[in-house]
Chain A
Amino acid sequence: MDDCITLTYAVEGGDLTHAGEASSGVKQALRKLGLDPSVIRRVSVCMYEGEINMVIHANGGTARVDVGLDDITITLTDTGPGIPDIEKAMQAGFTTAADSVRDLGFGAGMGLPNMKKYSDEMKVESVLGVGTTVTMVIRIE
């Protein structure tokens, strides 16, 4: 894939107040590139869910977005606790989020399933005690 643009963001851990800043930045950048709104929406949802996961579970991380001619690749990397059972984590409704997170309208076990739903390819690599990397590819029609 020939990359046209690479965007990188630091996602702060802690509270959810700042979650969405990276996805908002990507959205604006993709709009300027004139990409199809449905592609932008899918990228934004994947990014935002990923950001929320990193904030809630991993005390932040980094988000990298490679915009190519044919597809957009999102790579989310954190040095959090890792995911013990990825298959279980991918199940809709499975969650380990705290009640305080659920009160905010998140943490219903939809993050990873949403990311899978709105991307064309998704890979989750996780090592306990080391961290997690989620890679998602969204094709540009």
Chain B
Amino acid sequence: MTVQGLIDAIPLSVFHLDDPDRPVEGGYCGDLLSWVMGRAPAGGAWLTIMSNVNVAAVAALADTACVVLAEGVTPDPPLLEKARAQGITLLGTDLSVYDCAVRLGGLIEA
């Protein structure tokens, strides 16, 4: 499943799309950035409700395939700016983190 595949299937809104063809190889849910930075798998989708600029730094550090802001959260302007500058795919959904993770899991398993 690619990032674009997830966008179409879940579906997800797009704040910034860097590499639509990047494969998504798992996922991670978390809001405590110190926790996420050491544990989110590279190439995975990171589901969070955090929207500040440090999300971009953690996503870059962990090399996630995409960040999904759940629960209708929108990125703070500095986050969007940094995502564009650093080539981080930033997506969104009104779904809860749980519901989004369930759909993601179904799609990746399939």
Could you say which of A16, A45, A108 contacts B37, with CB atoms under 8 Å apart?
A45
CB within 8 Å of B: which A6-39 residues: 16-17, 19-20, 23-24, 27, 37
- How many residues of B are counted as interface, with CB atoms below 8 angstroms from the partner's CB atoms? 22
Contact A19 B61, beta carbon cutoff 8 Å: no
Known contacts being A17-B53, A20-B54, is A48 close to B32, with CB within 8 Å?
Answer: no
A117 within 8 A of B: yes
A4 within 8 A of B: no
Known contacts being A41-B42, A114-B38, is A108 close to B61, with CB within 8 Å?
Answer: no
* B61 partner residues in chain A, CB cutoff 8 A: 20, 23-24, 27, 41, 44-45, 48
B10 within 8 A of A: no
- How many residues of A are counted as interface, with CB atoms below 8 angstroms from the partner's CB atoms? 23
Contact B42 A49, beta carbon cutoff 8 Å: no
Could you say which of B36, B54, B60, B63 contacts A104, with CB atoms under 8 Å apart?
B54
Main secondary structure of the interface of B (DSSP, over half): helix
Contact A19 B57, beta carbon cutoff 8 Å: yes
A41 CA / B62 CA spacing, docked (Å): 7
Known contacts being A17-B78, A27-B61, is A105 close to B38, with CB within 8 Å?
Answer: no
Q: Mark B47-72, 1 if CB is under 8 A from A, else 0.
A: 00010111101101111000000000
CB within 8 Å of B: which A30-75 residues: 37, 41, 44-45, 48-49, 52
A80 within 8 A of B: no
* A48 partner residues in chain B, CB cutoff 8 A: 37, 57-58, 61
* B37 partner residues in chain A, CB cutoff 8 A: 44-45, 48-49, 114
Which A residues fall within an 8 A CB radius of B?
16-17, 19-20, 23-24, 27, 37, 41, 44-45, 48-49, 52, 104-106, 108, 110-111, 114, 117-118
Which B residues fall within an 8 A CB radius of A?
31-38, 42, 50, 52-55, 57-58, 60-63, 78, 86
20 residue pairs of the A-B complex, CB under 8 angstroms, read A19-B54, A20-B57, A20-B61, A23-B61, A24-B57, A27-B61, A41-B61, A44-B37, A48-B37, A49-B34, A49-B37, A52-B34, A105-B34, A105-B50, A105-B52, A105-B55, A106-B54, A108-B34, A108-B35, A110-B32
